[in-house]
Structure 1
């Protein structure tokens, strides 16, 4: 396992890399329990057990970015669930640095999409005691085919993406900055950053709730806690706290 340490303006960043692992999230969950520090980033060239939200398989061949980091929760921190918005804003800004010519937006809570709804990046947050492990899968040069939903990668979109190690270092620097904002200024400030990067209000969305209920409506922003506000056909606003959300 190779590694390097770098001081940022906000946090000491530690980068480790492995050629192949099952899941960088699973690796860091185990290490978090053993006391691994905040600021540690683990990147794998490839994964053979990558996973996304709701237990979905995340295909992880060499060439894309597969990385996870640890956030150590403090008593004064905002809700850990709001780290999803910190991550989404961070990856959005990092992609803008990497490929400024590629149009992107964020979709609730933390997907990075093209304007036509093709997924470019996925995020998975998992908790172990006082630590949250944040996993990021960013399609740099490859994307899977024949999925139920649209996906893409930066190379396909006409960019010249950097190698995965350069990409994770860019993501980590931006993440450290927004993590500091989250701690100092709270969820509402992060939510405003998120909304500025989201698809426009009035965008048609479909939400599948954990109990199986389906709701279609128009995006009406987020509330102060980050819940999705969905305007239904009768004009009522429904606050969505957990759901699988799609552009329609």
Structure 2
């Protein structure tokens, strides 16, 4: 079920409230505009009309893979849909779930826990992208010359997310991890990582471990495993 509102502060916050009141898995909320959109670690997310701002709800079940790996599910589903709308663009996933086009950020995904539920929020630059961010940004309109309607894009995303969620639940993390790696930047890509405590480490992308954590090969040949933090391409 997809519900659309003209404006709200945050689709994630609204869907978290709905989760507390018993909303079922598969509920989606889309806003034409957000006044308090945010990215990871509380960063602001610009929300002009014409882009996608939507959140969905996953009810965790006994036997599900670890909840944090839903970040990979969301990334794979979004990459699949973005590739359909921009088939000639080289769109890659950056750990854990950003989409980059030519190194410029196309989207962001924010997962937040609400009891035994997870809220997955998607912000996708369809018609517009900010020009004043520290790192370059992109939009589907800039890549292809046209922007899909947010409602049309979300219909495709909701179907893809449900399909990948079913595989995650029924087959485990392995097929999701394989699809993520196939869509990611190449092994050996130079990365800079910033841990939650602010420590910065540079190295080479060395894939994902079995749990979906980032493998970073350091200059001395050791491999560091990152479960959280910010990652930037060098």
The offset of 1:93, in angstroms, is 0.1
CA distance in 2, matches of 1:37, 1:159: 37
Where does residue 171 of structure 2 map in the other structure? 185
Where does residue 47 of structure 2 map in the other structure? 60
Matched-pair contact (CA < 8 Å) for 1:188–1:225: no
Matched-pair contact (CA < 8 Å) for 1:70–1:131: yes
Where does residue 15 of structure 2 map in the other structure? 28
The offset of 1:212, in angstroms, is 1.5
Where does residue 93 of structure 2 map in the other structure? 106
CA distance in 2, matches of 1:212, 1:171: 34
CA distance in 2, matches of 1:152, 1:37: 33
The offset of 1:188, in angstroms, is 2.1
The offset of 1:159, in angstroms, is 4.1
Q: How does 1:1-248 map to 2 (within 5 A)?
A: 14-115=1-102, 117-248=103-234
The offset of 1:26, in angstroms, is 0.3
The offset of 1:162, in angstroms, is 1.5
Is there any run of 5+ residues in structure 1 with no aligned partner, and where? 1-13
CA distance in 1, matches of 2:35, 2:71: 24
Where does residue 5 of structure 1 map in the other structure? none
Residue deviations 1:172-216, cap 9 Å, x none? 000000000000111122111100100000000000011111100
CA distance in 2, matches of 1:43, 1:62: 12
The offset of 1:221, in angstroms, is 0.5
Tell which deviates more after alignment, 157-166 or 199-208: 157-166
Matched-pair contact (CA < 8 Å) for 2:86–2:143: no
TM-score normalised by length of structure 2: 0.98
CA distance in 2, matches of 1:79, 1:38: 17
* Number of aligned residues: 234
Is there any run of 5+ residues in structure 2 with no aligned partner, and where? none
Matched-pair contact (CA < 8 Å) for 1:139–1:154: yes
Structure 1 segments, 4+ long, off by >3 Å, are: none
Q: Cα RMSD over matched residues?
A: 0.8
CA distance in 1, matches of 2:187, 2:33: 37
